A and B are shown apart, each in its own frame.
Chain A
Amino acid sequence: MSDPTLLEVTDLVRHFPFREVQGLRMVKANVRAVDGISFTVRQGQTLGLVGESGCGKSTTARLVTRLDTPTSGSILFQGRDITTVKESQLRGIRRDIQMIFQDPYSSLNPRHTVGAILGTPLRVHGLHRGKEKQRVQQLLELVGLNPEHINRYPSEFSGGQRQRIGIARALAVEPKLIIADEPVSALDVSIQAQVMNLLATLRDELDLAFIFVAHDLGVVRHFCDQVAVMYLGKIVEYGDKRKIYEAPEHPYTQALLSAAPDINVARGIPPKERIRLVGDVPSPINPPSGCRFRTRCWKAQEVCATTEPPLVAAENDVALRGAREGGLHRHACHFPEVKTHLVAEVEPA
């Protein structure tokens, strides 16, 4: 916990303005993709972002990498405010914060060799001058590819290998923070584990911090130290992985965890309690007042429609959790309540 804070995000907002015709008038409206979120990432730490499609995970990722500019809020990287720095000043940040994309097919230029793909960032940042080729080969080796394949094109590699190239490219400039947006979901099931293992090894060896976006809750649990659960542009629960998975307090987190199908059913373990949400996620253009989850929440009361619950430290349940060590745990709910056993308990190995 004493690792220095790398990234500090406060009240981050990104609205996408658009116009639409309502009746006979043109009205301005906003897609409130990210609507006031705060979190921190320390050196060597991994934060997982989970939540339903469209809740703002990728938008958050793009804001932190500064591929997009926030509407408001602040992003501090190593204490330096990078919220609105201009393109010309972004070079240093581009080096320290790298992104790994979901799609290993479209994120690599098909007309460039692997050598060119990995060599370009080195040249742009003036790294390993005169020794670029050795560095590229070293990078290929680092991600488990054959260094002799430096002259091959992306099409000559399998999906898993291409994702490794994407990872090598991110690592080329020796970043401190890597944003991985669904890095394994486009890969074959049998390949996902290879790539996850690679990311874990690199994280440990290079003391990298990660923001890891994924919809697979199992993968997130395996890889992350902390987890932020998002719903409609807000963080609804945030904390150490064990708190989130083993003693979630926000109804949405509970529903999300309980909805994930569980393979243990095949091993005769009775199906866990299922919370079935009704309806769909409301539109981010016109989100519900108060708590955004209230339209689907089985606990909602009047106050939920009138007052937005702030993200506060969870404390109701300290006694209950007793033995479990303390740590970060926040939720945004008027009626938090611990629910356990939403994911199968750790089995004896």
Chain B
Amino acid sequence: MSTAFGSPGAQTTAEATHPGDVVLDVVDLTVTFPTEEGQVRAVSNLTYQARLGRTLAIVGESGSGKSVSSMAVLGLHNPKRTTITGSIRLDGQELVGAPRSTFERIRSQKVAMVFQDPQSSLHPFYKVGKQIAEAYRAHHNVSRAVAEKRAVEMLDLVGIPNPQRRAHQYPHEFSGGMRQRAMIALGLVNDPKLLIADEPTTALDVTVQAQILDLINELQKEFGSAVILITHDLAVVAETADDILVMYAGRGVEKGYAKEVLAQPSMPYTYGLLQSLPSHSEDVHELKAIPGSPPSLLKLPSGCSFHPRCSFKDQVPGDACWTQLPEWRPTPGLANRQVRCHLPDPVATLRQDEGIR
């Protein structure tokens, strides 16, 4: 169990209780939406795991399937208009094909989600404290007074000043940063094993963002839960995540330890993203952009989805990039790293490129 991405399903039969135990085991998850124009393949054969006490960052372009895959974990897709295949096991329990009642039970008891827009999970007509108290009572046989006391404690825990008074206010009386805190309090009130935070700070300023990310980190230490942090901000990943999954056009393309992947990417898309950053420190004249734009999910490119934009495909013998979907494989010399790329030695190729530039 020393690797963050061990063999799928290895220890998911028993309940996860120790740090490092797999809480969420996603294998070959595929999500498609039938639309007028055809089948939108939003997530294709996605495999990853989330472990207790660790933060997994899921990064990728807009539309790469980050939110759709997490919503599948929470059962938030309309079953009539979504086809979901593969396996999602939460604490050993299979969720693909599970009835609504199962999802209702796991939500807020085992998994909580924090969205970009706190408006979407705080009810505008109920006082913040009451909402948290009710969520607590739904899973604990306690009196209203006890639950309300717990709500105030939670508001205090997430750093809301005057929690007693704030508990009696409505969401609109909170600022954006405070609403986000309140939503985290709501998400954590039942001590979930997995917290999914989907762009929790994108709508916030950097100074408030820093507060919220600190908070998530602290709470994770305290509660020991697994956190999935969805973001497109690689600097946020560098500072907060343990593990990383990079997605492109609905597929995972690289995974490993977060800091290591950012320091030494071994898949051309990850590399391109890092190269294109106007790193705070460098006053270079031209940014190194990835040419082209992301593909349509209605008609994914053949072979490697990234090949139309990849500047390394010529270094792959034959026409594999055009014709064959690369399988996950370990990267030589990098522990715990998996990539989907045909390059024979991606690390060497990308390192050499970095030297030339």
Interface of A, helix, strand, loop or mixed by DSSP: helix
Give chain A nearest CB distance to B85 CB in angstroms.
27
Flag if B286 contacts A274 (CB, 8 Å).
no
Report how far A221 CA is from B177 CA in the complex, Å.
Answer: 26
Q: Is B138's beta carbon under 8 Å from chain A?
A: no
- Do residues A222 and B278 form an inter-chain contact, with CB atoms below 8 A? yes
The residues in B between 151 and 193 inclusive whose CB is less than 8 angstroms from any CB of A are 161, 175-178
Instruction: Flag B275-297 by CB within 8 Å of A: 1 or 0 each.
Output: 01111111111111111011000
With A217-B206, A263-B262, A267-B263 known as contacts, the answer to whether A189 contacts B278 (CB < 8 A) is: no
Q: Which residue of B lies closest to A252 (CB)?
A: B207
Q: Is A200 an interface residue (CB 8 A)?
A: yes
A191 touches B277 (CB 8 A): no
Complex interface residues of chain B between 217 and 248 (CB less than 8 A to chain A): 232-240
Looking at A174-182, A276-284, A297-305, the stretch in contact with chain B turns out to be A276-284
Q: With CB as the reference atom, state the residue of chain A lying closest to B262.
A: A266
Stretch among A58-66, A132-140, A339-347 lining the B interface: A339-347
**Could you say which residues of chain B place their CB within 8 Å of the CB of A194?**
289-291
Known: A189-B232, A191-B293, A256-B207. A218 touches B62 (CB 8 A): no
Q: Is the CB of B205 within 8 A of A345?
A: no
Chain A contacts for B291, CB-based, 8 A? 194
In the complex, are the beta carbons of A261 and B281 less than 8 A apart?
A: no
> Contacts A200-B285, A261-B236, A261-B238 known; A221 to B278 CB distance under 8 Å?
yes
Q: Is B211 an interface residue, CB under 8 A from the partner? A: yes
Partner of A200, one of B233, B281, B286: B286
The answer to whether A188 touches B210 (Cβ under 8 A) is: no
- Which residues of chain A are within 8 angstroms of B281 by Cβ–Cβ distance? 264, 343-347
Contact code string A186-225 (vs B, CB < 8 Å = 1, else 0): 0011111110110010000000000000011111011100
The size class of the interface chain B forms with chain A is 35 or more
Instruction: Kindly list chain B residues whose C-beta atoms are within 8 Å of the C-beta of A271.
Output: 239
Known: A190-B276, A268-B263. A197 touches B238 (CB 8 A): no
- Chain B: which residue is nearest A201 at the CB level? B286
For residue A334, give the distance in angstroms from its CB to the closest CB of chain B: 21
A53 CB–B CB distance under 8 Å = yes
B254 to chain A, nearest CB (A): 14
Q: Please pick, from A190, A217, A265, the residue contacting B290 in the complex, using a CB distance under 8 A.
A: A190
C-alpha spacing A17/B95, complex, angstroms:
53
- The answer to whether A74 has its CB under 8 Å from any CB of chain B is no
User: Among the listed A158, A193, A215, A276, which residue makes an inter-chain contact with B289, where contact means beta carbons less than 8 Å apart?
Assistant: A193
A-B pair number, CB within 8 angstroms: 149
Closest A residue to B293 by beta carbon equals A158
Residue from the list B61, B280, B287 in contact with A344, Cβ < 8 A: B280
Cα separation A160 to B290 with both chains bound (whole Å): 12
For B263, the chain A residues whose CB sits under 8 A away are: 266-268
Contact B205 A193 (CB under 8 A): no
**Residues of B close to A346: CB separation below 8 A:** 281-283
- A274 vs B289: C-alpha distance in the bound complex, in angstroms? 30
Q: Which residues of chain A have C-beta atoms less than 8 A from B96's C-beta? A: none
A338: CB under 8 A from chain B? no
Verify if B209 is at the interface (C-beta below 8 Å from A).
Answer: yes
Indicate if the CB atoms of B208 and A260 lie closer than 8 Å: no
User: Which of B204, B213, B263 has the most chain A CB within a 10 Å cutoff?
Assistant: B263
| Known A189-B232, A200-B286; contact A53-B293, beta-carbon cutoff 8 A | no
On chain B, the residues within 8 Å of A52 by CB distance are 205, 207-208
Option from B235, B269, B289 in Cβ contact (under 8 Å) with A263:
B235
Q: Determine whether B272 belongs to the interface, using a CB cutoff of 8 Å to chain A.
A: yes
Bound form: Cα–Cα A217–B210 in Å? 14
Q: Tell whether, in the assembled complex, residue B282 and residue A347 are in contact, meaning their CB atoms are under 8 Å apart.
A: yes
Q: A190-B273, A219-B278, A261-B233 are in contact. Are A280 and B262 (CB under 8 A)?
A: no
Q: Known contacts being A190-B290, A262-B235, is A215 close to B206, with CB within 8 Å?
A: yes
Interchain CB contact (< 8 A) of A343 among B175, B213, B280, B293: B280
Tell me, yes or no, whether A255 is within 8 Å of chain B by CB: yes
Q: Is A259 an interface residue (CB 8 A)?
A: yes
Query: Measured between alpha carbons, how far is A189 from B285 in the docked complex, in Å?
Result: 18
The reply to whether the CB of A319 lies closer than 8 angstroms to some CB of chain B is: no
Given the known interface contacts A221-B280, A265-B259, A266-B258, the answer about A255 and B207 at a Cβ–Cβ threshold of 8 Å is yes
Chain A CB within 8 A of B327 CB: no
CA distance in complex: A279, B181 (Å):
12
- A261 with B293: in contact, given A200-B285, A276-B210 (CB under 8 Å)? no
Please, which residues of chain A bring their CB within 8 A of the CB of B178? Answer: 280
C-alpha spacing A263/B258, complex, angstroms? 11
Task: Kindly state the separation between the CA atoms of A41 and B294 in the bound complex, as whole angstroms.
Answer: 37
In the assembled complex, A27 has its CB within 8 A of some CB on chain B: no
Further contacts, 11 of them, CB under 8 A, given A222-B283, A264-B279: A191-B293, A193-B278, A194-B291, A217-B206, A219-B278, A222-B284, A245-B280, A259-B209, A277-B207, A344-B279, A344-B280
Closest 8 pairs (CB-CB, A-B): A266-B262, A193-B289, A222-B278, A193-B276, A261-B235, A193-B287, A266-B238, A344-B281
- Residues of A at the B interface (CB closer than 8 Å) are 52-53, 158-161, 188-194, 196-197, 200, 215-219, 221-223, 245, 255-256, 259-268, 271, 274, 276-277, 279-281, 343-347, 349
B residues at A contact (CB < 8 Å) = 61-63, 161, 175-178, 204-211, 213-214, 232-240, 258-260, 262-263, 269, 272-274, 276-291, 293-294, 309
